[in-house]
Each structure stands twice: as C-alpha cells, then as structure tokens.
Amino acid sequence: MQINRDTMFFGILGFPLSHTLSPVIHNGLFGEYRVNALYIVLEKEKPNRNLILGKESISLSGLSVTIPHKEWAFKIADYKDEASTNMKASNTLVRHDSKINAYNTDGYGAVRSIEKYKRDFFESKSAGDILILGSGGSAKGISYSLVKRGLSSSKIVIAARNKKTGKALVKTLNTIENGISEYLPLDSLEANKKRFSLIINTTPVGMKGKTDSQIVSDTFFSKSQTLFDIVYNPLETPLVKMAKKNGARIIPGYEMLLYQAMEQFRLFTTIQVDNKRISLVRKWLLAKLK
C-alpha cells in the first residue's frame, strides 16, 4: 500500500501496548477490502482529546481504545452509544469532522464468543451464575451486553480488587435489571466456587509482560466450569493453564478480540466483514500467537 493524501489513519490507544495484535486485524482487512487506510499503534500513558482530532500529529479517523483508557474515551466523546452511556466506558472512537463518537464493542465480542463455544448458555434454565473478575472498562462493557442479551437463570457476580468500582458496577447492572447482579469480595470466591458455571477474567493479570499474582486458587476450577480469559497474549495464560489442568472448558481470549474488532471495522469503514474473512483473521491471530 502506498500512503497518499487520501489515506485514512486509524490506531489503537492504550498503555502498555507491546501485546497488541489489533494492527494485524485491521491492516489485514484494509488490504482484503482495498481500503486506503493504515492502522498504527499509539502507546500513550496520558492521552488527550487533541490526539484524535489531529492537533498533536496526524489526523485520525478512528481509534480502538484499550486498558487503561476506556473511561477516558467515554468522557471525551460528543456522542455515546447505549452501551457506553450505561457503562461509562468506550473502546471505539470515530471522528466526524470535529466531533467524536464513542462506542463499546467489547460486549458484542464477548457475547459472540460465548455463543460460539456455549451455544445454549443464554437459554439454559440450569446454567450456574457468571463470575466476572475485574470492574474496569472491559468488565463494564461485557456485563452490560450479557444483561441485554438476556440470562434465563444466571446472575452476574462481580469480584474485583477495587471494591468501590465493583459495587458501583453492580448497582448500574441492577438498575438495568433488578437483582441481576451482586458483588463478592475476592476472599469469598473459594467458598462460592461451585455456584459459577462461567468465569470471565477481564483483568490484565496474565497478560504478556505482567507479573501480577493469580486471582483464584489452584483448586478453584472444575470440569463443570468454563473459563473465558479475555487476555489473549500469551495464548495460554497462567489462569487458562490452571483451568485446563482441572478439566474446565476454555473460551480463547482471541475470540473476543476477533469479534469486537469486526464490529469496530464496521464502525470505521461501514463494511460488514463476511464469514470467510472472519475465519481468515482468526488464522492470522493464531499464527501470530503461536
């Protein structure tokens, strides 16, 4: 591809970003659909609104936003979609002249991933509760979409190191659907482990370059459970290895990355990615991760 005056620039904003595979997805799809655009990495600890408006360097048409800037992305936007408005966090920014639109595609990606690996989960009357580890931007987007998707019998349990944000998230979810969520301290997880059929890790624990200690004990998982660790690099995090050792099923983190990026790509370009190319992107991701 040759950059010219008509080239559109997109990027991913976060800190740190050594683990990101988003450029593989978006630049690959720009090539597949022959879109005159380039997707770059913008690793910034303290971004500001001028970044996307082009007042710092190049003019950006849109941004993917990851840890720890999802709440910031929501705050600086002029328009917010429903998921962003409810959860006060966004992972996608699209610029229209001097206005910035914010969207949250995390939940979309998570729901698509769960439906792929646990097809009848949302309709099941006997499914256990859902445990979400963390209360940050990803936890907000995912939990909101789970509630909106509809749960037949499951409750959403939030367990986080930050008790204040954890309880605030529970309050927001219960405002959407009364009694759908509750907060559980981390030190109470072991005693309650049998009630959970799906565990979703939204924290950066296990991410490449991170040295945080594990969140749950070595004996937490069982054969009746499924772990969905949204950390995708490395391919098998310590949490995934622990869950597999105890016989739990795994939903790979790259699936959420894949599906949320498909929705981002649509917001960036108006192009709905077809199934053939979704499969192609999945192969690209696995090749990089392996």
DSSP string, 29-73: HHHHTT--EEEEEEE-SS--THHHHTSSSSPPSEEEE-TT-HHHH
Q: What is the pLDDT of residue 199?
A: 97
Q: What is the pLDDT of residue 67?
A: 83
Q: What is the pLDDT of residue 186?
A: 92
Q: What is the pLDDT of residue 120?
A: 86
Check if the beta carbon of residue 240 is closer than 8 Å to that of residue 233: no
Q: What is the pLDDT of residue 16?
A: 85
H or E element in which residue 191 lies: helix 189-192
Task: Retrieve residue 17's tokens.
Answer: 């970003």
Cis before 238 (ω within 30):
no
Q: Which of 46, 55, 70, 223 is catalytic?
A: 70
Q: What's the CA gap between 60 and 119, in Å, rounded?
A: 38
Q: What is the pLDDT of residue 59?
A: 86
Cis before 185 (ω within 30):
no
Domains of the chain, first to last: 8-104+255-289 (3.40.50.10860), 107-251 (3.40.50.720)
Q: What's the CA gap between 124 and 155, in Å, rounded?
A: 13
Check if the beta carbon of residue 156 is closer than 8 Å to that of residue 130: yes
* SS3 category, 287: helix
Q: What is the pLDDT of residue 126?
A: 80
Q: What is the pLDDT of residue 56?
A: 67
Q: What is the pLDDT of residue 170?
A: 97
Q: What's the CA gap between 121 and 83, in Å, rounded?
A: 22
Model pTM score: 0.89
Is 148 one of the catalytic residues? no
With tokens 């408006």, the residue in question is 53
Q: What is the pLDDT of residue 54?
A: 73
Check if the beta carbon of residue 83 is closer than 8 Å to that of residue 101: no
Written as tens digits, the pLDDT of the chain (290 aa) is: 688 989 999 999 999 887 789 999 999 999 999 999 999 999 999 998 888 877 767 889 999 999 889 999 999 999 999 999 988 989 999 999 889 999 999 999 999 999 999 888 888 888 899 999 999 888 999 999 999 999 888 999 999 999 999 999 999 999 999 999 999 999 999 999 999 999 999 998 877 666 566 788 889 999 999 999 999 888 899 999 999 999 999 999 999 999 999 999 999 999 999 999 999 999 999 999 88
